[in-house]
Amino acid sequence: MMTPDQRYFFDLTGYLHLRAVLSPEELAPAQAAADRYIQMPPAEWPPEFGADLARRDLTGYQHGFAFDKSLEVLTRHPATWPILMELTDRRPRFNGGTLGYNRHGHRFHRLHAGWQPSKRPDVRRYYVEDGQVRCTDFIFFFYLSDVSPGDGGLIVLPGSHKAHFDRPQGMFYPDGDAAYVADTVPPGVHNVCARAGDVVIMPEHLMHGALTWKPRDRDRRFLILRYNVQHMLTGQRRPFPEAIRQRLDPETIDLLELAPYYEYKDIVKKRENIA
Ligand SMILES: O=C(O)CCC(=O)C(=O)O
Ligand SMILES: [Fe+2]
């Protein structure tokens, strides 16, 4: 469950910023592992790992969560677990774990969301049930580096997860082109400045993007963990190839499987004391 403060803020704005979630003992090995992946020459990438280095706005290191156990365990971290339980009504499915890397020279990441008010409103859901927030598709961003005001990075449009109308094209930011740079935060938009060890949570419904990263001597690194509910196939049927699955703990495998609505996963039964 969320705390009443978390629930009120999350429902109202569509995001949560949890501070200092990771202890120094959790953070240091996760940062070191992320650094190893980012520094690794492409020729050494293990099977199914890698990144599209030509992408202009953000480098996504595929399956970053599976690169090292210090990253994999974040999929079921005790601080985010209660929120995972509330949003999915104890029916979680982990479906993606990319390592995000944002450096100077990357362009503006245009505003987008994994859902639009006008398109397939039945598929991805956000609603309230029994006084709790439910959401079928959402993201946990685990920050591994610091973002200060003025640096750039994640922007969100608070409240947009419950929008009834589509955002007029170009509103807040011009549509831009491949080289588009933007570093302003217009009224109504919020730039989330997270520190290493913080977690930012949002539904896929929330309109979001990223300002051009300004610092030349620092970059932005974060693990992007995506979840949905175990009984709905809103994304890929098998998001993790065999070479990745083979590396994972049984608890992680349990978390990423599809399952019927009326069954609880072993990891949920154990942690939630369900007989
Ligand atoms: O750069 C960011 O923080 C945004 C990443 C993003 O859009 C996503 O992971 O869906
Ligand atoms: Fe996104």
Residue pLDDT, tens place only, 130-186 = 999 999 999 999 999 999 999 999 999 999 999 999 999 889 998 776 668 999 999
Nearest CA owner, ligand 1 atom 8 = 224
Reply yes or no on domain 4-103+124-145+195-205+217-272 having CATH 3.30.9.10.
Answer: no
Would the CB of 191 count as within 6 Å of ligand 1? no
For residue 154, the CA-to-ligand 1 centroid distance in Å is 7
Looking at all shown ligands, the one closest to residue 58's CA atom is 1
Radius of gyration of the chain (CA): 18
In tens, the pLDDT along 52-109 reads: 999 999 999 999 999 999 999 999 999 999 999 999 999 999 999 999 999 999 999 9
113-127, 132-146, 182-196, 205-219: which has the minimum mean pLDDT? 113-127
Nearest CA owner, ligand 1 atom 9 = 224
Question: What's the predicted TM-score (pTM) here?
Answer: 0.97
- C-alpha closest to that of 45 among 57, 31, 59, 63: 63
Query: Distance between CA 187 and CA 267 in Å, rounded?
Result: 43
Collapsing DSSP states into helix, strand and coil, what is residue 200?
strand
Would the CB of 144 count as within 6 Å of ligand 1? no
Which of the listed residues 224, 226, 227, 228 should we mutate to test ligand 1's pocket, taking the one with most ligand atoms within 8 A of CB? 224
Collapsing DSSP states into helix, strand and coil, what is residue 253?
helix
Question: Quick check: 235 pLDDT over 90?
Answer: no
Q: Which residues contact 217 (CB under 8 A, 6 or more apart)?
A: none
